[in-house]
Amino acid sequence: MKGLVIGAGQLGAMMGEVAWRLGIELWRYCPDTHRYFFGTEMDARGDTGPVDFDWVTAERELLPQTPFHGVLLNLATYQLVSDRLPQKKLYDQLGLPTAPWGELKTGESADALLAKLGTRLVVKARQGGYDGKGQWRVSEPGFVSEADCIGEAMIPFSREVSIVGVRGADGRKLFYPVVENVHQDGILVETLAPAPEAGKWQAEAERILGTLMDHLQYVGVMAVELFDCGDKLLINEMAPRVHNSGHWSQDGANVCQFELHLRAVAGLPLPEKLSWVPTRMDNLIGVALDYQWLAGNGKVHWYNKEPRPGRKVGHINTLL
Amino acid sequence: MKGLVIGAGQLGAMMGEVAWRLGIELWRYCPDTHRYFFGTEMDARGDTGPVDFDWVTAERELLPQTPFHGVLLNLATYQLVSDRLPQKKLYDQLGLPTAPWGELKTGESADALLAKLGTRLVVKARQGGYDGKGQWRVSEPGFVSEADCIGEAMIPFSREVSIVGVRGADGRKLFYPVVENVHQDGILVETLAPAPEAGKWQAEAERILGTLMDHLQYVGVMAVELFDCGDKLLINEMAPRVHNSGHWSQDGANVCQFELHLRAVAGLPLPEKLSWVPTRMDNLIGVALDYQWLAGNGKVHWYNKEPRPGRKVGHINTLL
Ligand SMILES: Nc1ncnc2c1ncn2[C@@H]1O[C@H](COP(=O)(O)OP(=O)(O)OP(=O)(O)O)[C@@H](O)[C@H]1O
Ligand SMILES: Nc1ncnc2c1ncn2[C@@H]1O[C@H](COP(=O)(O)OP(=O)(O)OP(=O)(O)O)[C@@H](O)[C@H]1O
Ligand SMILES: [Mg+2]
Ligand SMILES: [Mg+2]
Ligand SMILES: [Mg+2]
Ligand SMILES: [Mg+2]
């Protein structure tokens, strides 16, 4: 079986790690440079690849046009989610709880939205943001948007959590436990799986993610980031792909998210059930490879990328 | 870092699976066909490879001469263990318990040995046997050996167990729990980790394996297969390499045997401790890839080899 992942980053490479032992020949395609990569390799094989893929998926939702769009699974979901405006509208349409929000066009003042939503706003570019990039905190009148954005009420959450799950082509869904995520400067630095008191929110988080996957008829792994407000969960954003807060599953679960995604998009059976052991994931951000990390008890996952400040270059999973 | 494994089978390929996320460029070399393989690939890249390997290890102990013998780690151990005669002598020399045995040269009658050791013998070719090949059961006088062999007393064991451990260059050792192994027709079919009542034999098994590794100044992963006789353990054989009865560790332990071996031979830190959850490994023998295996809860490891009767083509690890 031959599959393709659009995108040439670590998420696809980690699918490549799993592919071999499932008998899947996995290629990756960079839609920006038009180069093909094989398996986990970070050096391109060239600018031609096989043409007879059995299926095509992606590791990110914002994609330029590619030669594979005609057969790309979940394309409509990518197009919807890659723009925060229709994404937020979807939550409202489905009656799912999310941080209160409004639209903010290029050149528009945030004053009215600030007055309406509270004392602090988080303004986010509609497209292209990740790791907290493309965001502005607004607490004073006078802010004028320099991009097409949405503005959200700043939520005084008690913590951030997320849920990762999978939906098969037959509509069957499986979920990992709710996990707790710690961010620094907008970047995920640590995930605790399960989150302390995960049980409190498991059903509600599954309801939210399950509703989204079913409505979109999505096939594969999806994640939802949530603000835990003590008495309620609010959706922050969704990611129609494997997600950093699911990386712990490589070492802490019977089947990891990368394998689940491959199995779903390839039309292979999903497992009967997911099981797991308590695991902590620590991101490696902007640092050089240091083999002293191995002296602990964690499992080091190095992405073979050049370290740059703020760049995710690996993670360590530790069974607790 | 660049490393080489001599041998082009699944054991090296599974080291290749681990190598990427440790930032190790792992090549494999087939000493029979003189071809080089990369990572997990089962198709050769060609008959030339890099020359600047930081270290060279092997996935099997019986090796023809190679261009890498001068730098091959643990060479003396491979030479000793690949011949059952010095291997058995070593156990006696170190006072380690093993099945009673004697030498049996080509053309020699087994009658004297049979009379000395009991009513049944297991005759084993000194070199090249695996999966029960190169063995003869002898219970009647008149057997004449057709190869250079050893003959062992047939042991009425209550079960077969094994232990896998690692020794670093600094002499530090770590051990997995004693596991129980079920064989059919001389081939391992199932491993249960830990073995039921593993605690009863853990210290003794660690003493045996530890004594061997220390004496040989071995660096890397080593396994010892043992007969559990109820009141004592007897060594069946040792394997100076990653071992089929350690495959469960890929999914049931904090660090798997393939990673431990790479770390030891590469001079990288070993973990502080090993931890695990109960896991069963089932070998896939001589069967075609069947994705219905995925419908269970196990993790499928397919070796991407052509199925042939009696050939190990994969395994499934199930957390219990
Ligand atoms: N409405 C909000 N109220 C409070 N904090 C917020 C809000 N929106 C975002 N944040 C904080 O900023 C972080 C990044 O925001 P968000 O997840 O929307 O950005 P991103 O760049 O898409 O991140 P990712 O890398 O997860 O895709 C959040 O994890 C949270 O800590
Ligand atoms: N002395 C013995 N008494 C009883 N059974 C034995 C004896 N020696 C071997 N056996 C049986 O035969 C099996 C294979 O023997 P052994 O492990 O020596 O062979 P091998 O071909 O080297 O196997 P491997 O594939 O593990 O390398 C053992 O696991 C055990 O079941
Ligand atoms: Mg985002
Ligand atoms: Mg986010
Ligand atoms: Mg053997
Ligand atoms: Mg054996």
Residues sharing a CB contact under 8 Å with residue A194, sequence separation 6 or more, in sequence order? A177, A178, A179, A276, A278
Domain boundary among A153, A177, A195: A153
Q: Which residues of B touch A268 (CB under 8 A)?
A: 291, 294
CA of A23 to the centre of ligand 6 (A): 28
Is residue B67 in some structural domain? yes
Is residue A78 in some structural domain? no
CA of A81 to the centre of ligand 3 (A): 10
Q: How do residues B149-169 score in pLDDT, each as one tens digit?
A: 999 999 999 999 999 999 999
Nearest CA to ligand 2 atom 16: B132
Which two structure tokens, joined as six digits, stand for A37? 């990569």
CA B30 to chain centre: 18
The pLDDT score that the predictor gives to residue A178 is: 98
How many domains does chain A contain in total?
Answer: 3
First and final CA of chain B: distance in angstroms? 36
Is residue A91 in some structural domain? no
pLDDT confidence band for A189 (50 / 70 / 90) = very high
Q: Which residues of A touch B298 (CB under 8 A)?
A: 254
Q: Which domain holds residue B14?
A: 2-72
Contact B13 A23 (CB under 8 A): no
Is residue A92 in some structural domain? no
Residue A143 shares a structural domain with residue A184: no
Is residue A288 in some structural domain? yes
Domain boundary among A119, A153, A187: A153
The pLDDT score that the predictor gives to residue B113 is: 97
Contact A188, A182 (CB under 8 A): yes
Residues sharing a CB contact under 8 Å with residue B251, sequence separation 6 or more, in sequence order? A254, B279, B299, B317, B319
Residue B148 shares a structural domain with residue B181: no
Pairwise CA distance, residues B33 & B53, whole Å? 20
pLDDT confidence band for B61 (50 / 70 / 90) = very high
The closest-lying atom of ligand 1 relative to the alpha carbon of residue A132 is 21
The minimal CB distance from B294 to the residues A13, A268, A289 is found for: A268
Q: Is B6 close to ligand 2, i.e. is its CB under 6 Å away?
A: no
Residues with CB under 6 A from ligand 1: A 99, 122, 124, 129-133, 152, 154-155, 160, 183, 186, 225, 236-237
The pLDDT score that the predictor gives to residue B138 is: 97
Residue A58 shares a structural domain with residue A115: no
Characterise B272 by phi-psi region: left (phi > 0), alpha (psi -120 to 50), beta (else).
Answer: alpha
Q: Which residues of B touch A291 (CB under 8 A)?
A: 268-269
Mean pLDDT in residue range B26-54:
96
Is residue A81 in some structural domain? no
Least confident of A66-70, B103-107, B131-135, B230-234: B131-135
Residue given tokens 């295996």 in the structure block:
B293
**Average confidence score pLDDT of chain A:** 97
Q: Is B180 close to ligand 2, i.e. is its CB under 6 Å away?
A: no
Q: How do residues B261-289 score in pLDDT, each as one tens digit?
A: 999 999 999 999 999 999 999 999 999 99
Beta-strand pair B101-104/A135-138: unpaired
Residue B255 shares a structural domain with residue B193: yes
Secondary structure letter of residue B276 according to DSSP: B
Residue B104 shares a structural domain with residue B179: no
Residues sharing a CB contact under 8 Å with residue A227, sequence separation 6 or more, in sequence order? A99, A155, A157, A160, A161, A233, A234, A235, A236
Is residue B37 in some structural domain? yes
Q: Is B61 close to ligand 2, i.e. is its CB under 6 Å away?
A: no
Task: For residue B81, report the phi and psi dihedrals to the nearest 5 degrees.
Answer: -75, -25
The minimal CB distance from A20 to the residues B17, B272, B275 is found for: B17
Pairwise CA distance, residues A186 & A236, whole Å? 13
Q: How do residues A72-95 score in pLDDT, each as one tens digit?
A: 999 999 999 999 999 999 999 999
Residues 42-81 of A with CB under 8 A from B: none
Indicate which CATH number applies to the domain containing A142. 3.30.1490.20
